[in-house]
Amino acid sequence: MPERIIVSIGTRKGLFVAEAPKGRGKFTLRGPFGSGVAVYTTLIDTRGTPRLYASSCNSFFGMKLLRSTDLGKTFKETRSTPAFPKEDGRALANIWSLEAGSGKRDLWCGVEPASLFRSDDGGDSWQMVSGISNHDHARKWQPGAGGLCLHTILRDGDRVHLGISTGGHYLSEDGGVTFAASNTGIGAGFVPDPYPEFGQCVHKIVGHRDAPGRLYLQNHGGWSDRPGIGVLRSDDHGHTWRSIAKGLPSDFGFPIAVHPHDPDTVYVLPLEPQTRTCPGGMPAVWRSDDGGDSWRRLSHGMPRRESFFTVQRDAMDIDELKSPALYFGTTTGQLWIGRDGGEDWSCLFDSLPPIHNVKVAVV
């Protein structure tokens, strides 16, 4: 079967799946699946037979995980979802992240209240990861506007990076058994100490397989008295961080993405910090080709005025074709594609429900 582009789109009203030939010509849309129920995370697991997973977060009847083995044509509920031990007292409030683990059927799942779960059978059973879920700091973490969520899971061999809002960046170097706060250089604008040990409102973290130790982080920036803390880079596996926000119109934003074939090329989508919408009503993705030393505005094809949408933390992704395309979904229900590395933008779908999550894979 020829390669295709699959885009999973988690929305406030269910999951949609878009598909196109590898040339990214016409995209067709399927869904909604889990109709009427919010989807905050999806995973296109390309190990072996591709599987598509989606959280289905029903405010009435709780959390479910949906799984598809036919590239998003049909979905079935997994046998179980992450759940806290009965004696723990906490209750699952949302499912925020799903990532593939090292084993063929291993999955990792980040939830609200901020905790981590693992599955070794493709999502049919789950075990809580005590090293972070019962961390000494856990009782001191505070919920951000989206809730107290563990939203980023980034694996690099035995290293596991977690992003918690608001908890900060936590790093395991023993395969996910124990975790330590690792926030040197990550600022916070909402507490007296500008650089606390933990408690930062990290929005997203990305890495690159060809640049071990290199990480980029979108933090909660936008503080006039603490400028530049919003977009950061690490070159030592997340032990220390430094600002790369100079040149951006705002260091506030949610998503961050890195080029699949060039670890020096990184993308952010700056937002106005008070309204969390496009600065001046003029949306743009900004790209750095030199690891954050300089930035260039990419907006060809996007509206030039009167566009005040928000792009949430997991609503931007990039495919892995030779000349990759970016995809982002808006809170106003538009799915945009930026072909040629973001040089040329067009709207694929204009009237979806508010979009929480966009993931793309070539299968």
Partner 1 sequence: MLRECCDGASELSLAAPSVRAALGELEQRYPSLYRSVCYENGAVRRHVSLFVNVDHIRDRQGLDTPLRPGDVVTILPAVSGG
- Residues within the interface to partner 1 (CB under 8 A): 58-62, 77, 80-81, 83-86, 88-92
CB of 129 to partner 1, least distance (A): 16
- Nearer CB in complex with partner 1: 21/62: 62
Q: What is the DSSP string of 148-175?
A: SEEEEEEEETTEEEEEEETBEEEEESSS
CB of 229 to partner 1, least distance (A): 35
Token digits for 304?
């030039």
* Dihedral sign, Cα of residue 304, residue 308, residue 258, residue 293: positive
Cβ neighbours for 1, distance < 8 A, ≥ 6 positions apart: none
* Dihedral sign, Cα of residue 112, residue 114, residue 115, residue 120: positive
* H or E, element range at 216: strand 215-219
Provide the 3-class DSSP secondary structure of residue 27: coil
Residue 234 CA to residue 152 CA, distance in Å, equals: 16
Provide the 3-class DSSP secondary structure of residue 300: coil
Residue 22 CB-half CA count within 13 A = 9
Cβ neighbours for 128, distance < 8 A, ≥ 6 positions apart: 82, 84, 85, 88, 115, 116, 117
Which ranges in the chain belong to alpha helices (H)? 130-133, 339-342
- Nearer CB in complex with partner 1: 9/111: 111
- Nearer CB in complex with partner 1: 58/323: 58
- Nearer CB in complex with partner 1: 11/172: 11
CB of 254 to partner 1, least distance (A): 23
**Phi, psi dihedrals of residue 339, rounded to the nearest 5°:** -70, 165
- Nearer CB in complex with partner 1: 48/89: 89
Count of other CB atoms within 10 angstroms of residue 250: 19
- Nearer CB in complex with partner 1: 55/81: 81
Tell the residue number behind the tokens 């109709």, with chain if given. 35
- Nearer CB in complex with partner 1: 126/345: 126
CB of 14 to partner 1, least distance (A): 12
Residue 337 CA to residue 345 CA, distance in Å, equals: 6
- Nearer CB in complex with partner 1: 138/363: 138
Residue 118 CA to residue 161 CA, distance in Å, equals: 15
CB of 81 to partner 1, least distance (A): 7
- Nearer CB in complex with partner 1: 59/351: 59
CB of 61 to partner 1, least distance (A): 4
CB of 173 to partner 1, least distance (A): 30
Token digits for 26?
């016409």
CB of 63 to partner 1, least distance (A): 8
CB of 85 to partner 1, least distance (A): 8
